[in-house]
Amino acid sequence: MAYSSEISRTQPACILLLIDQSGSMDDPFGGQGGTRKKAEGVADVTNRLVQNLVVRCAREEGIRDYFHLGVLGYGEKVGSAFSGALAGRGLVPISAVGHAPARLEERTREREDGMGGLVREKVRFPIWVEPHAHGPTPMCEVLLRARELVTAWMREHPESFPPIVVNISDGEPTDGDPTEGAAGLRSVRGADGEVLLLNVHLSSNPAVPIQFPDAETHLPDAHARRLFSLSSPLTQGMLAAARDEGHAVREGARGFVFNADILSLIKFLNIGTRPSNLR
Amino acid sequence: MRIALEVMGVQKDGNAPTENEDAAAPEHSAVLVEDSLHVAVADGATESLFSGLWARLLAREYATGQMREPSGLLQALPGLQRRWLAEVEGRELPWYAQEKLREGAFATVLGVSLARTPAGADGIVGTWSALAVGDSCLFQVRDARLVRSFPLELASSFGSRPFLVSTHGAQNARVAAQAREMTGEVRVGDTLLLMTDALAHWFLGEHERGGRPWLSLPGEDDRSAFESFVAGLRAARSLRNDDTTLMRLSVEA
C-alpha cells in the first residue's frame, strides 16, 4: 500500500517548502483591512512548520533525523531561503536545521492552564526564514528546481515515504502555467508512492478560510482554483489526520488550503505513537 | 500462591536499548510466593520527550500496590508528575527540548494485581484485577483457550492515537473516563500475559485467525530467544516495529 512507509532514522522522510517571495507579498494578508503583510505571513507559517518538525524529532539525546528539510524561495531569485548558518543549503537533516536557526526571537504565547483559563508565557521562537517581497513569481521555475531536488533525494531513499512539497504562495505565477511543472513534480515516485504536492494559498481576498476542499466550485478566484488543481489528493493517513483535527473532509479532498494553516497535514506523519490527548 | 513471573522486552529495531521507552515492574523474572502481587507494563509515547522515564514511574508506582483503581491513579498522578518534572527540569536544555517539555510526556499503563483466596474445589486460588489506560493489553489463557482480553478485544481496535496518561495535568482531564477496570479469577495452570501494543495487536490478530499465539511466545530463559522471536515477526511484517514488552505470570499453585 502506498504512503505506508515507516518514518525512521534509517528511512527518513523529505519535506520541501516552496515560498513565494515576490513583490506582491508586500500586500496585506486577508485584504486591505489586514494589518500584516503576506510576506510576514509566509515567513511565519514557514518558521512554525519548521519549528513543529524539529520539536517532533526532539528526544532526550538531541534531534533524531526523521526528516530532511529544505526551503526554496522564489521571487527575485529562485534558491535556498534559509538565512543564517544554513544559507544556500538545499535539503538538510532536521537535526542540523534544529541546531542552526538564524536567531531566536522572544515571543509571548497564551496557553491553556488545564483549568479553563489561559496563562501567558514567554517562549523562544526560532527564525530560519525572513520575510522577502521582491520581483516576479517564478513558480514554474521553482517547481522545476523542486523536482530536481526531490528526484535526487528519492534516488538516495527509494523506500522512504515519498517527499512532501508544500508550496506557500498568493497564487499568481509570472512565468507561465505551472500545471505541467506541478504534474512533473508529482510524477516523481519511489517504492511507496509519488511525491505529494500541497498548496497553501495566502490571498488578499478576505474570503473565509477553506481547508482541504474536494471540488473547486466554492473557491473564490481563478488563482485559488488553479492552486487547487495542482494539489495532490490527500492520502488515507492525511484524511484520517484531518478528521482527527476536526475537519469534515471527504474522499477526493486535496492538499490545498486557502488563507489557512497546513500544520495539521504535517502532523499526520507518524513517527511513533501520537497520543490523542496531545494537541 | 506461587507465581512464575517472566519479563521480556526489546527495543524498536534501529534504536539503541537505552532508547526503549517501554517499562515493566518488576523488571526481572522471578518465582514469587506471595498472598498478593502487583505487576505493570507501561509504554512511553515515541512522540514525547522523557516518556521512557514517565513509563517507568507509572509502572513502578503501580507495582507498589498504591494505585489499583482509577481513583488511586488520580491520587498518585500529581506526585508522579512532580517527580518527572524534578528529574527533567534541572537540566540545561536547548530551545527545542524546552518547547517539547511544555507538551509533557505520555505513556500507557496496564497494571494487574493478584490476590490469593482460599483454594476452591474448582481449582480457583485467587482473583485478579486490572487497570488500564491506553492500549497495552492483558490476556488470560486457560486450558488452551483465550478466556479474557483487556482492555482491547479486537485487533482492529488498535489505532495510532490512543489516549495516554500525561505528565501534564492539563492533558489528563479525561484520564478517569478513559481508565478501564476488569476483574477475574485465577486457577492453577492459568497464564496471564501483559503486552505492550505492538505485540498485543499481533496476538489478537493471530487469535482471530484461529491460531493459539500464546504457544509461540518464547520463555524468558534467554534474552536472545525473545529478540529473535520478535525479529522474525518484524521481518515477516506480522509485528509493527515498536518497543515490545511481554510479561508472563504462570499460576503454579
Q: What is the pLDDT of residues B33-92, one digit of tens each?
A: 989 999 999 999 988 889 999 999 999 999 999 898 999 999 999 999 999 999 988 788
CB contact under 8 A, B50 and A58: no
- Tell me which residues of chain A have a C-beta less than 8 Å from any C-beta of chain B: 6, 8-10, 51, 54-56, 58-61, 63, 98-99, 101, 104, 111-115, 123-124, 126, 244, 270-278
Interface test mutation site (partner B, options A112, A277, A279, max chain B beta carbons within 10 A): A277
Which positions of chain A have pLDDT values less than 50? none
| Cα gap B133→A73, rounded to integer Å | 46
User: Which residue of B lies nearest to A270 if distances are taken between CA atoms?
Assistant: B160
Burial class (CB in 10 A: 0-12, 13-18, 19+), B31: exposed
User: Which residue of A lies nearest to B173 if distances are taken between CA atoms?
Assistant: A114
pTM confidence score? 0.84
pLDDT reading at B249 higher than 60: yes
Q: Tell me the nearest-neighbour CA distance from A124 into chain B, angstroms.
A: 7
HSE (side-chain half, CA atoms, 13 Å) at B103 = 26
Q: Where is average pLDDT lowest: A176-185, B105-114, B117-126?
A: B117-126
User: From the CB of residue B236, how many other CB atoms can be counted at a distance below 10 Å?
Assistant: 8
pLDDT reading at B195 higher than 70: yes
% helix / strand / coil in chain A, to the nearest 5?
30, 25, 45
CB contact under 8 A, B161 and A63: no
Residues of B in contact with A271 (CB under 8 A): 46-47
**Percent of chain B whose predicted confidence (pLDDT) is above 90:** 79
Residues of B in contact with A55 (CB under 8 A): 96, 99-100, 103
- Tell me which residues of chain B have a C-beta less than 8 Å from any C-beta of chain A: 14, 19, 43, 45-50, 52, 94-100, 102-104, 106, 160-164, 166, 168-174, 197, 241-242
Q: Nearest by CB to B169, which of A10, A99, A114?
A: A114
For residues B108 and B42, is the Cβ–Cβ distance under 8 A? Answer: yes
What ipTM, to 2 d.p.?
0.82
Q: Nearest by CB to B170, which of A8, A99, A113?
A: A113
Tens digits of per-residue pLDDT, B196-243? 999 999 999 999 999 999 999 998 767 789 999 999 999 999 999 999
Query: Do you know the residue count of chain A?
Result: 279
Taking CB atoms and an 8 Å cut-off, how many pairs form between chains A and B? 96
Which stretches within chain B are classed as H helix? 51-63, 70-89, 95-103, 175-178, 197-208, 223-235
Write down the pLDDT at residue B90: 78
Burial class (CB in 10 A: 0-12, 13-18, 19+), A115: exposed
Residues of B in contact with A101 (CB under 8 A): 95
Q: Which amino acid is at B118?
A: P
CB contact under 8 A, A276 and B162: yes
Write down the pLDDT at residue A273: 61
Interface test mutation site (partner B, options A264, A273, A278, max chain B beta carbons within 10 A): A273
Residues of A in contact with B103 (CB under 8 A): 55, 278
CB contact under 8 A, B162 and A59: no
Residue tagged 484461529 (cell numbers): B210
